């Protein structure tokens, strides 16, 4: 059941694989605990590597494998957090028959937004949003720490981006 007043902005969009992979990458590496974990683990591996390099001259047997192991572990970790993450995200997107290429319509009102797709209808007050993230390519209206409505900036009508930024500021999101 739609609100009887006219929306300030209407947005039509589609959740693409590229947008989903960007969202997953952002959630794991771009914000909050994911970014902190990435930095902490990279620092730990770097310290471990440095300790191995310092200890190498004092080893009774000079074994090159001793020096290669930290590099291999660091390379595997960085691969898992970059290419591996993108591959897993794309695979998850393709397996999700409900959200893959899901087309939706969003109406932005003064105090809430309404979303509609072939699977249902949402009426979400802005004060109930977890956060709003503004990236160079997308806006993420976070419903929970791992759940978001993805809006491509290129699909936003004129003035909608500024309105969303005002909502973010007004509700401290």
75 pLDDT more than 70: yes
d(CA 132, CA 143): 9
User: Which residue, 109, 148, 139, is CA-closest to 126?
Assistant: 109
Lowest mean pLDDT among 3-7, 46-50, 103-107, 125-129: 3-7
pLDDT score recorded for residue 30: 66
Do the Cβ atoms of 128 and 171 come closer than 8 Å? no
Whether pLDDT at 74 is above 80: no
Direct distance between the N- and C-terminal alpha carbons of the chain, in angstroms, rounded to an integer: 27
Q: What is the pTM of this model?
A: 0.75
State mean pLDDT over 31-39.
67
In the three-class reduction of DSSP (H, G, I as helix; E, B as strand; rest coil), residue 142 is classed as: strand
């Amino acid at each position: 059941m739609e609100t009887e007043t006219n929306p300030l902005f209407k947005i039509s969009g589609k959740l693409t694989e590229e947008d989903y992979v960007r969202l997953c990458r952002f959630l794991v590496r771009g914000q909050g605990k994911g970014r902190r974990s990435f930095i902490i683990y990279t620092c730990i591996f770097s310290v471990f590597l440095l300790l191995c390099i310092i200890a190498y001259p004092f080893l009774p047997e000079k074994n090159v494998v001793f020096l290669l192991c930290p590099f291999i572990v660091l390379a595997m970790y960085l691969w898992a957090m970059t290419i591996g993450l993108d591959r897993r995200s794309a695979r998850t997107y393709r397996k999700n028959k409900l959200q893959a290429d899901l087309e939706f319509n969003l109406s932005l009102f003064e105090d809430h937004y309404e979303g509609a797709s072939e699977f249902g209808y949402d009426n979400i007050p802005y004060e109930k949003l977890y956060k709003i993230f503004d990236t160079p390519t997308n806006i993420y209206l976070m419903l929970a720490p791992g759940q978001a409505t993805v809006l491509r900036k290129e699909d936003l009508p004129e003035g909608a981006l500024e309105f969303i930024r005002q909502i973010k500021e007004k509700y401290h999101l």
